[in-house]
Amino acid sequence: MIHSRSQTFVDLLACPRCGKPLVDAPPLRCARCRVDYPDLDGLPCLFAEPSAALAEWRLRMDRLLRQWEADAARTTRALKVADLHPLTRRRLEKLVRAQGAHLGELTQLLTPLELGDIGSALETHLALRTRMPPAQGLTTYYSNLHRDWCWGDEENDASCELVAAALGPCAGSQLLVLGAGGGRLAYDLHTRLAPTTTIALDVNPLLALAAQQIVHGAQLALHEFPLAPRQLDDVAIPRVLAAPSAVSEGFYCVLADGLRAPFASDAFDVVVTPWFVDIVDEDLGLLAKRINRLLRPGGRWVIFGSLRFAHADPASCFSIEEAVAVIADAGFAPPGVVEATIPYMCSPASRHGRREQVVTIAANKAKRVAMPERHTALPDWLVLSNQPVPLLEAFRVQTSTTQIFAFLMSMIDGRRTLRDMALLMEEKRLMPRAEAETAIRGFLIKMYDESQAPATL
């Protein structure tokens, strides 16, 4: 399903590595970096290191499909119990059929990820300080697709109404939605406000591929598995996801990292970030400066969502008053704020829906500000083998878990490098040096991720 790209769309793009314009060879290409940015069935993939990013998503896809196979096998084993209640047997039989069908549905939807040889050295990926969000799997927001394109009209309409009111007239404008998810809000804004161009960007290929097909008129068959089924037959429900009508010209889906948005400076009249600013792993002040760069003078930024910051650093868990002040400090005029209560994820088959108090913040770009360095997902000591590993508090705690973990952590003294530690592992005959460095880096990446995650009870 290849859709043509207008020159207007291409002119909005920039290389996520160097910031220079891209040319549509095709594929999209940065001449300076000598990098081709592939299409996934017409969906531009604009990660800074596309080969490594797609390789990581492919690994996650493989794990996801294997997990669904394991889930179906577990349900099948449960059915072999002789004294099952007839209703329980009926529910499990329905579930296992749905699990098998769902495995096929996901495989088909994610087929474009099965690109040929997209391997890339880990070192290249790390050197660009890019990686996929560790907390987001392919199906983390899977239920949002059903909300967007099946049963969520009340929530979709309420969301569009609030955002459209904050945006004002947009006819003839260039509109960007960062963190577009399944794409419904971007679709509704494009249909209702008639901008010249709307770009719906998301980091998740499952969501972006689904949106790409649905907005252009395809109907997707996907099962819904409600978290809290209302009744027995709601344990798994076949759904058909479809847009009210195929989108008009000027609408584009893009697969990319919103923190390294692949767009030219001053490219957009409007940027919308729905359920985004409090989710991404970056301080709001830095993110606001990145949004400032994307907007033309006088351009409008609209934030929409629950505004629940949950960062590891308490100083970054902003109240609404702090968020407004931080945005103003990033070159925006004093923002306007509207609060409202709307339905949230109210599937007719689930008991889990609720009412959510959402915030809409709108601010115009008043001046340009100095841009921060490009977003980096990992610190130098995890990227480079010759940098001292800091003795983080999370590392101290981990030393008490197991003997091997304790030995690994005891080697971290603020001076030893990854190579030094791998050599010690080899000297202790615990692991060959070549394997040890990879294992140690993976272990420390996991520990670093945990140190950055918010505390949970």
The dihedrals phi and psi of 269, each to the nearest 5 degrees, come to: -80, -30
pLDDT computed for residue 371 by the predictor: 86
Nearby residues of 204 by Cβ (< 8 Å), 6 or more positions away: 136, 138, 140, 141, 181
C-alpha separations of 382 from 126, 371, 372, 404 in Å: 8, 24, 21, 20
Residue 286 has pLDDT above 80, yes or no: yes
What is the torsional sign of CA 13, 134, 394, 408?
negative
Portion of the chain with pLDDT greater than 90, in percent: 65
Q: How far apart are CA 326 and CA 333, in angstroms?
A: 11
DSSP 116-136: SS----HHHHHHTT----TT-
- The pLDDT assigned to 455 comes to 42
Token digits of residue 174: 């260039």
3-state secondary structure of 96: helix
**What does the pLDDT look like over 14-63, one tens digit per residue?**
999 999 999 998 899 999 999 999 999 899 999 988 888 888 888 889 88
251 SS3 class = strand
pLDDT for 378 equals 67
pLDDT band for 121, please (50, 70, 90 cuts).
very low
Position 377 scores a pLDDT of 66
Tell me the pLDDT tens digit for each residue of 138-196. Answer: 888 999 999 999 999 999 999 999 999 999 999 999 999 999 999 999 999 999 999 99
Per-residue confidence at 453, pLDDT binned at 50, 70, 90? low
Q: What is the Cα–Cα distance from 196 to 188, expressed in whole angstroms?
A: 14
Tokens 């729905």, located at residue: 274
pLDDT score for 232:
97
Contact at 8 Å (CB) between 186 and 212?
no
291-350 tens-digit pLDDT: 999 999 999 999 999 988 888 788 888 999 999 999 999 999 999 999 999 999 999 999
